[in-house]
Amino acid sequence: MSGTFSSNARNLEFGAPPPGVPACQGLDPEIFHPNPSDANRDPSPAERAALAVCEVCSVRDWCLERDMQECSTDRRISGVRGGLREADRRALHVQRFGRRPARRKAEAGR
C-alpha cells in the first residue's frame, strides 16, 4: 500500500493486502470516527455515511479482520471499520475473544 491511503487504511496495514483499493483511499479519516450510537439503536446519519463507503469496498473483510486482530480489548475499538460500526465491532470482538478484565489502578502504574 502506498502513502496515498487515508490514515484509516494506512493504520490497518499488515501482511500482504488483498487485491483492490480501499474505498477510504483519499477520504478524510474523520468520517470514520463519528459519535457512536448506542448498540440498541440504528446507526446515526454520520455512521451510515461511513458504512456506505465500506459497503462498496473491495477490502472490507480484510479491514475488519485486521481490526479484530489489532485491538487487544474491545474497549480499544472506535469508529467505523470493515463495514461495522463501533458498537457492532465491540460485540463481535467480545464474541470472538471474550472480555478482558479492566486493569486495576495499581497495575496501570507499573
* pLDDT value of residue 100: 67
The phi, psi pair for 39, rounded to 5°, reads -60, -30
pTM of the model: 0.73
* pLDDT value of residue 1: 35
* pLDDT value of residue 5: 44
Instruction: Summarize pLDDT for 72-106 with one digit per residue, the tens.
Output: 888 889 999 999 999 999 999 999 988 766 655 55
